[in-house]
Amino acid sequence: MIKILSGAEVSILDKHHIQGKGISSHQLMEKAAEGFVDWFLEKRFSSSKPIALFCGAGNNGGDGLAIARLLTKHGFQCVVFTCFADEGSLSEDCRINLGLLPSAIRKFPWNEFDSEEFGLVIDAYLGVGIKGPLREEAKSIIDKINSFKGIKVSVDLPSGLSADYSGFDHCVHAEVTVTFAFPKLALLLPEHAKVTGELVLVDIGISEEELEVFHSSYYYLLKKDIPAFHKKFHRFSHKGDFGKVLLIAGSRGKMGAAALSAKAAFRTGSGLVSCQVPLEERIIIQTSVPEAMCVFEDSIDWMAFDAIGVGPGIGLDQGELLEKLLREYDRPIVMDADALTLLSRNPSFLDLIPKESILTPHLGEFERLFGKCRTHLERLEKARRFCMNYKLNVLIKGANSVICLADGRQIFNSSGSHFMATAGMGDVLTGMITSFLGQGYSSEQALVCGVYQHGLAGEMAGDMKGRGTLASDVIEMIPETFKRLGVS
């Protein structure tokens, strides 16, 4: 997992890194530019029209000048638009890269940019180095960049966006942001999605250990992190090792929620899955998920289960059942959907929730539980205090879902697809996380593996089906995610 530092810490990190590696800051900038260009070439952008690069006076501008030089070597026609009045104001590495710019690359002041002439714009005007409110000229430069209606790729950050705060005044609206070393916090906040566009992370050789010495409780979860979170099973493993889970889900007209959770739990590897459903609705489960067993409220021994997930589709008249469960079951549970709404209506239940349990609200459920928040950062802070006070874990669902752990760490997920914004996806996730808990995973392991693989399965299903991807398609891809991650 990559630690997410503040914008102000980037220059300290750079200094540590270049001292430790015995390289110059200019070499690090070259590495960043090379990483950007590698991604750019992989994307196969058209070279039929010239590329405009807006370059500022700081190191973000230095990156832009190095990128212009490298792209030219690869046959792209680049034109640099300078966003500084005189060369005396340039940072040292920006000045070096200006000197290295081949004479064939034309340079003009930013206000001479004519959006009709270009096929793509690279925004290397401002990065993590902005301080205080934007100067007037900066706003005009940003407006100029935004006047381009084609693809705008921002280097490190969309110019004008602060690395650490929520909200912006003037800001480049990028279709893609290519950020270096770690994603800046602002790039992960949902209120900035429309200016950040697609997020690409470029490795510039700074290791996780180098980031770890900084104080931050935010992390970014990557594919390579997942295998280490998994439990290993072996040839003597038997059905019991894979856990016996119960899903309390479904009610008249909402039995699909129970079916989806149960199927997802099996596809995640559970040995035994039972569904607690209304007696008169049992046929739906027994025909749609024949592998599952049905149990009914009057004959249930909750403690016989390794893990319990409660909430999808149970309806809002199940307060008594929820209270009984919380009083009788003492292992971590997964609470989702209607269980969360019931919790927001009955705050006294909070003290009954078993420690290390997992609450998985989407933004609406979060608001019902914790009140309105003006920004995502405020939301994260509320969640952190709650998790630490109650020793619970909260997953704030959305693009870049955030795993808020009981010890205060908050982990942003990197997998997922916009095709997942459809009914039933939350039910699938509940089944997956409950399944991992039942297999003996800790709450942190179950969350990390469940959330990442749910997103990955969504990406894979989305790649196959595109628009119209169903929650059931995502379930079918879960086994493939284990293969993709090399987890047996």
Ligand X SMILES: NC(=O)C1=CN([C@@H]2O[C@H](COP(=O)(O)OP(=O)(O)OC[C@H]3O[C@@H](n4cnc5c(N)ncnc54)[C@H](O)[C@@H]3O)[C@@H](O)[C@H]2O)[C@@H](O)CC1
Question: Is 399 labeled as ligand-binding?
Answer: yes
Q: Say how far residue 327 (Cα) sits from the centre of its chain.
A: 34
Largest Cα separation within the chain, whole Å, is 83
Range in contact with K ion (rule: CB under 5 A) among 114-122, 157-165, 352-360, 388-396: 157-165
Which one of 73, 131, 149, 235 is in contact with ligand X (CB under 6 A)? 131
Q: Does 19 bind ligand X (CB under 6 A)?
A: no
Range in contact with ligand X (rule: CB under 6 A) among 120-128, 231-239, 307-315, 449-457: 120-128
Q: Are 460 and 223 in contact (CB under 8 A)?
A: no
The DSSP line for 175-244 is SEEEEESS--GGGG-GGGHHHH-EEEEE--S--HHHHHTS---EEE--GGGSGGGSPP--TT--GGGG-E
Which one of 82, 154, 166, 445 is in contact with K ion (CB under 5 A)? 154
Range in contact with K ion (rule: CB under 5 A) among 144-152, 154-162, 307-315, 400-408: 154-162
Question: Is 466 labeled as ligand-binding?
Answer: no
355: which DSSP letter? Answer: T
Residue 236 has φ and ψ, to the nearest 5°, of -90, 0
Which among ligand X, K ion, none contacts residue 56 (Cβ within 5 to 8 A by kind)? ligand X
Question: Is 130 labeled as ligand-binding?
Answer: yes
Which one of 3, 76, 122, 156 is in contact with ligand X (CB under 6 A)? 156
Question: Is 131 labeled as ligand-binding?
Answer: yes
d(Cα 108, Cα 111) in Å, to the nearest integer? 8
d(Cα 357, Cα 269) in Å, to the nearest integer? 20
Q: Does 159 bind K ion (CB under 5 A)?
A: yes
d(Cα 197, Cα 121) in Å, to the nearest integer? 14
Q: Does 57 bind ligand X (CB under 6 A)?
A: yes
Nearer to ligand X, 209 or 320 (CB): 209
Question: Is 486 labeled as ligand-binding?
Answer: no
Q: Are 481 and 456 in contact (CB under 8 A)?
A: yes
Nearer to ligand X, 144 or 454 (CB): 144
Q: Is residue 308 within a helix (H) or strand (E), and if so which, with residue range? A: strand 307-310
Q: Does 35 bind ligand X (CB under 6 A)?
A: no
Which among K ion, ligand X, none contacts residue 437 (Cβ within 5 to 8 A by kind)? none
Range in contact with ligand X (rule: CB under 6 A) among 100-108, 129-137, 236-244, 432-440: 129-137
Range in contact with ligand X (rule: CB under 6 A) among 56-64, 108-116, 302-310, 371-379: 56-64
The DSSP line for 278-299 is -GGGHHHHHHH-TTSEEE-GGG
Which one of 9, 30, 93, 123 is in contact with K ion (CB under 5 A)? 123
Q: Cβ neighbours of residue 383 under 8 Å, at least 6 residues apart?
A: 366, 370, 394, 396, 402, 404, 410
Q: What's the half-sphere exposure (Cβ side, CA atoms, 13 Å) at 349?
A: 21
Q: Which positions lie near ligand X, rule CB under 6 A?
A: 10-11, 13-14, 28-29, 32, 56-63, 91, 126-135, 138, 155-156, 180-181, 204
Rule CB under 5 A: which residues touch K ion? 123, 154-155, 159
